[in-house]
Structure 1
Amino acid sequence: MPRQYSKGARTAAAFLEAARKEFATRGYLSTKVEDIARTAGRSPASFYNYFTDKADVLAALAQAFHEDTRAQIAAPYQKGRPPEEAIRTAITIFWETYRDRLGALSGVFQASMADPTFLASWREIRQSAIDFIAQGVERAQKDGYCPGIDVRMTSSALSSMLELSCYVWLVQGGDNGDSHVDEHAAIDSLASIWYHAIYWRPQEHD
């Protein structure tokens, strides 16, 4: 049976979808609330019944991205796949979802540098992702891998690597600005770095 939404929920969803489209077309910094409302077919006054400002709607889009990817990324680990395989599958899911929501997610970096209110919201969202990564690092340590590393710092560094790499390669077109990024090579590189950052043991001494 199809899910039923209230009128209020449908209106909020319309604003979110409109914001996603406007951020993709205009860029976050150039988009105005009036643009979002017009694309949603609603009034600007109605927008403020659901969101405080465009940073608030961007935070909602970013939150939805992290909730969706976290649910999907957990699957290969829950199925007990070998760590190297699970990591590559998880990074592939993140990459493809980021690519499919590029308009909104490209605005995250712009907004975090220009809007202190959004930055605070973004830090809260990131904490959930870092917590999830930290659980994986802790599991690896229990199995004898990466002894002594700082779990939180390592998790933050890996999260930052993945997010910024997606931004540089997918939004900015790579380091040359006009290059085509080989997605398979990019995912392979990220997965290799991630795996080797965690799944190592101290060398045994003779």
Structure 2
Amino acid sequence: VAPEGSPRRPTRKSDRTRESILDAARTAFARKGFSGVTIRDITDLAPVTRANFYYYFSDKTELFIDLGTNTYREALAVVEGFMEQGSPPSREDVEAWVAGYFDYLDRNGAFVIRSTEDMPPDRKFRAAVARSHRRTAAALGEGIAKIAPTPPNLDPVATGLVIMAMLERSWLMVRHNEVPSTTRQAVLMAATEMLWRTVNGQT
């Protein structure tokens, strides 16, 4: 992932404590979902005291929203990086981008996937999540259209959704070793070839 797409590591002790809580929450929510996680689950993983937790967050809903916002920003940065390639991009450029997307999923994929099924019930928050998904998909679809020699005559949101779904499902199956005979590298190369051909108008 390009440096601007990676989360900056905190330097002050207070920043490190807050980041530890966010990292622990990412793991806890990925394991149990929003409804199943307790404050103690998070403080035990961090590890921090309950007082530390409440210094930074009023409850787990605020923490979940903060974590979701950070994750969305990171996803958008990775997706927007697709437009920084040449026009048309080389296979090497596309491979580097796909590898970066997989790196993003290594950090956030389990949380993102679990959160689609179990998140705070607040309607405004759920609407914001839907808008975030649309913006990210649109950014990728528009990026493909921008650098493709012959832009596809397709809805950019739909294009982005299809590419993201392909990458996320492929990553998930490799992570869980659902197809033991297939390696992560083989999947990365297959995704690269398919995306490169899509961008260059080849089938």
Alignment pair present for 1:155 and 2:160: yes
| TM-score, normalisation: structure 1 | 0.69
Q: 1:80 aligns with which of 72, 76, 86?
A: 86
**For residues 159 and 62 of structure 1, what CA distance do their matches in structure 2 show?**
17
Say if 1:59 and 1:122, in contact at 8 Å, map to a contact too.
no
**For residues 190 and 97 of structure 2, what CA distance do their matches in structure 1 show?**
13
| Equivalence map 1:1-206=2 (5 Å) | 5=12, 7=14, 9-23=15-29, 27-29=31-33, 30-38=36-44, 39-43=46-50, 46-47=53-54, 49-50=56-57, 52-53=59-60, 56-68=62-74, 70-71=76-77, 77-78=83-84, 80=86, 82-83=88-89, 84-99=91-106, 101=107, 104-115=108-119, 116-117=121-122, 119-140=126-147, 143-146=149-152, 148-170=153-175, 172-174=176-178, 176=179, 179=180, 181-200=182-201
Say if 2:134 and 2:157, in contact at 8 Å, map to a contact too.
no
**For residues 62 and 189 of structure 2, what CA distance do their matches in structure 1 show?**
34
**For residues 40 and 135 of structure 1, what CA distance do their matches in structure 2 show?**
42
Q: Give the gaps of 5 or more residues in structure 1.
A: none
- Structure 1 residue 95 displacement after superposition: 1.0
Q: Give the gaps of 5 or more residues in structure 2.
A: 1-8
CA offsets, 1:161-197, max 9 Å, x none? 2122222321x322x5xx2641111101111222223
Deviates more, 1:128-137 or 1:117-126: 117-126
Report 1 or 2 for greater relative contact order, CA contacts < 8 Å, sequence distance ≥ 6. 2
How many residue pairs were aligned?
188
Say if 1:33 and 1:44, in contact at 8 Å, map to a contact too.
no
**For residues 108 and 18 of structure 1, what CA distance do their matches in structure 2 show?**
15
Q: Secondary structure at the match of 2:116?
A: helix
